Structure 1
Amino acid sequence: MTSTYYHNNVAPLVNAEAVNLRKNMLAYLSGPIVPAQPTYTYLWSTGDTSQQIIPTVTGIYTVTVTSNLGCTATATYSYVAPPPVNVNITSSGKLCSGNSVNLDAGGGFASYLWDDNSTNQTRVITTPGTYYVTVTTAQGCIGSDTITIYADTSVIADFAVNVHLGCKRDTIFLTNNSQGGTQWYWLFGDGAYSTSEHPVPYVYASQGIYTIRLVVVNPPCSDTMLVTINTNHPIASNFVLPGDTLCITSPIAPTLTNNPDPTWVHTWIWGDGSPNSSGISPFHLYSTPGTYTITHIVVDTLGCIDSTSHIITVDFPAYVDFSIFDDKVCLGEKIILNLDTLSASTYTYYWDFGDGYTLYDVPHPIHVYDHPGNYTISLIGKSYYCDSTKISKNIEILPFPVINLGRDTAICPGLTGAITLSDINNPAAIYQWSTGEVSNSITVSNPGVYWARTQGECVAGDTVKVLRDCYLNIPNAFSPDGDGLNDYFLPRDLLASGLTVFQMNIYNRWGQLLYSTNNLDGLGWDGKYNGTPQPIGTYIYTINAEFKNGVKNTYSGNVILVR
């Protein structure tokens, strides 16, 4: 059974409503509803077999629905397509280097979407390329357009530079090879400019590195070209000396402080009349002291010249000399020196005595050495500009001889006999003796003072006393007044020697015994009797003495007590 229905629809055709209606009719016509659900097939007039289609053009669309029970139904649609969406991207002009172009998708659309995701009607671009936009109408219809923007290369900046270097100033000649321009702007890199298509030669006031800029304009387009030139060709005479003073024994070697071009020609004038030198590393040895002007002249391949000068003072080295009064002396004796020569170029000098001692600026020094030996005495002179000068001479410090005749001794007649005197450290040494003998020893038998002296460059001597022993000296007066002088009569430690037995008695003029002693080393009588000072007067003494040589003597006499 077949049924046919018509349906007009000017909206996009979706057949769900009609299909549902047809499904109901088919179910009704096929009889009572059974639990099983029927199945359907579809066939559109476009040949599509899907349940629904979307029409794209105006027309009549028919669909036939068939169930699995063999029933069919037909629905017809009249579809009117909406008007087309027309999009046309326009540009505002040429895309030149340095400018931009405005793209416009046109008005009247509900929304815009460009390829860079911007959503405005217009868009600004600065680079060439292909650009597109998608628009949507108020009814939901969609349209798009694409535009290709090309770079405008009709304006080309191009020029050549010819540099003419000079000694004072440098000139450039410019050749304009640009295309398509109507305006020209030149910038010379030093603040100067020109708007001429073909500028006159330009002169730089100073050397340097400059960037020349040409901007060629044909509105709205322009192009720029940059060329960097280097006009640096400095010619400079720059040199230094090791110092402003020089010793005549040393050569002078100037040093250039710049990096000279290998094509430069160098001339060195030394100022002393000697031939000039060339090259970058000269040296010169002056033969006469004085003050000189050294001049350096340099010439480049352009004929440009520069020069500079420095003054050098050339001086003699220090010169000194000295003499020694005696270059061989005994230890302890003075070394006397004399400054004989001191040149005008010597500003200071000093002595080095070779034993660790130095002395500055003394013309006649005297020095004493602490130890014997050989020494070198040096005189060192200094000048301002030359190395120190040293004059050295040798001296000898002889050891001082030592003679030792021993301790003082004594002679006891009849006991000691003769005594032999000699150097106890060097008994074989020959000496000059006080007796007139020249020998290693002498023999003496009498008390006295004896000496011996060495012979040779250094003289030393020694003295020995030979004292009298076995004696007793008895004074004839004393003064017991407590002044410490002669307060006792006959002190044995001062007036006697060699005593073995001593007995002394003191009497007044009436024979009364006032004092008696047998002490060998006593002080003697103090002028008192039983603690009472005795009057001034004459007193009698008796003395019995025996000496170690066996001699016995008895002495008697008067002694005067004074106060």
Structure 2
Amino acid sequence: MQNFFICNGNGTTVMYPGFTSVFTAYAETVPCSTYHLKLAVCDASDQVLDSGVFLKAGSLSSNAISMTALSNLNNPQPYIVEGCTPGFIKIKRNSPTPFPYVFNYTVGGTATYPADYNVTTIPAGNPFGQVTIPAGDTVAYLVINPLQDGLVEGLEDLKIYQFAPCTNNIVDSAILYISDSIIINIITSDTTICSGESFQILVNGSDSLNYAWTPNININNPNIKEPTVNPVVNTDYVVCASIPNAVCPPTCDTLKVIMNTPPDVHISNDTIICKDMVIQFNPSISPQQTYTYNWSGTGAAFLNATNIPNPIGTFNAEGDYDLYLNVSPQAFGCDGGDTIHIKVLPNDIYLHNGDTAICQGGTVQINVTGDPLFTYNWTPPTYLNNPTIPSPISTPDTSITYIITATFPGCNPMIKSFNIDVQPNPIIDAGIDREVCDWDTLQLNPIVTPNTYPNYSYSWAPATGLTSSNTKNTVFNGHQNNTYTVYVTTPVGCMDSDQVTITVHPTEFADIQPTEKMICPLDSVQFTATGAESYHWSPGLYLNDSLINNPLSKPLTDIDYTVYSTSIYGCTDTDIVRMHIAPNAVLDAGDDIVLYPGEVGQLNATGNCSFFAWYPTAYLSDSHIKNPQTTPPATMQYFVTGATEEGCSIIDSIIVRISPESILDLPNAFSPGSGTSINDELKIIVRGMVTLDYFKVFNRWGEELFSTNDINRGWNGRYKGTPQPIGVYVYIIEAKTSTGKKIYKQGNITLIR
């Protein structure tokens, strides 16, 4: 042990890293048994406990075992072929030990033991279900020998399961596949190529196999897995794969290669068509092969299909278009093609002239837009400067309809038409100048030639004073002198005008005074009318003369007079004079009143009067209002004079008497709590000036319910806060007046609820 001692005597602290030796101990154990580990630590003679032993974490365990399937063939997992070379299951532990390790296994999967395979071991001598890793070694092998059974079984799997030492549970597995034959296939699909091209053939198979290709011409190497070929004719390439140094039969696969030639394509010559024309394309294509077709270019949108050799084109838009046909055989890069240019002309012309109207003697510039490749022809050619151009000039003398026809070879004729309405130049006569009384009307009827044209329109200017300003015949109902211009116009503007002057004599020339009068009954009014030659008053009722300018009227009721005044021009001015009979004045000064000591008298005159005057004015608050207050010291009579708004007046009077003594009284019933505020309390009624000694209320048993010496205070029907019942109660009042006179009153009152 001295060889493993490392002195740490010079250290000031215990430093284990760098001063530790590693020991490894092995012990053969029986799985699922319990063991105890004992360690003895010896220290030096200095009796200082400064030595240590450490156990590595996880070191008290057995070696981990792994399984791996091995074979020269992979797809992509390892597999073996019936009747051919064997495969292996490698059993490995991480590190060698002095003891052998017995590995227990079982088999499973779709492969059946021993019909599809048998098992041996390396090292040999192990029974089925076990293999032993020798002492001092790390690996052992299960040798799987596939058996040829002549059955088509597809790819079967053989599974090796490892048992746990204590529980016999499966803790690991490895899979080795068994195939009926060598697995190989050509990945590259049967293909077509263009002559002169080459390509690499892709193959799925293990790299450890031997490969042989036939035919072996035009191939870079016939003995490799994925050669490059460049055939010149259609060729079937066959590859066969075999296992080196094995007697089992090879497996073969075939690839078919078809050769294509670039096609020669011709669509047709460039062409010109009209819009909306339909074209069937029939290109010539050689040699005869299997092709795919693709039409492209600016004209492809007009084709019914772009993937057929002979599409139909419907060109519904004007312009210049290119079509390109790409013809592709099955081989990539072996395309051929051709291009055609198509010019699409419009399938219509545009006549910018709508139906046109002109005045007789005018000209019309016809304007047509169309393709310059078109041929044009106008019918009828009458009045045209050139009937074979798209935009001639017409000078028609009568109304006419023109038709233009545009043509192009292969296109439908394009036809347009329009009408020229030739309208007359009118002459109008408005008539002689006219006179009229204001408020009268005149019929204006101008004359137009030629009078056979039905589409004249008329306008009068100014429009003021006319019932209509846009008709031939109109009525003047204006009030001022005016000169009117009448215009006659055809729809296109052929026009004439004339004037007529109208003089208006006034009908507002008379002056009547007064025009409205209100009088009191039995009064009269003197009227005066000026400004006219003669007068007529209607009706003549209450007038002294109805045919003079200044009659006298004494009406008994309201009346309206109509006054007809006639001027030197025979015009009539009509006025209304209104007479109103005002109602008689009504006045009532009121009933005579009595005032007690300390009171103020309130006068109030009633009736229909608006103005008042009281006399005498002494002791009045205001002598010119309807309701003054008065405080006379002695009895006095007042007179009031009232006047209505119309000035009708009347007089009435009132006597104000003065009482030397005051009086008081009490109601004979009241209703407390009724909420009317009138009978809620029983209170003394006082006229004059009184001092209250007491006011008392008793019930029928003589119990005093209320008492006060405040004359303004009343009983609310309660006693000690409690409402008293309905019934009869007794009261006593004692007071004295301002002159010292005693007043004593006693009686009954009724409480009602």
Q: What range is the shorter-chain TM-score in?
A: 0.3 to 0.5
Q: Indicate the structure whose relative CO is greater, using CA pairs within 8 Å and at least 6 residues apart.
A: 1
- Per the normalisation by structure 1, the TM-score is 0.38
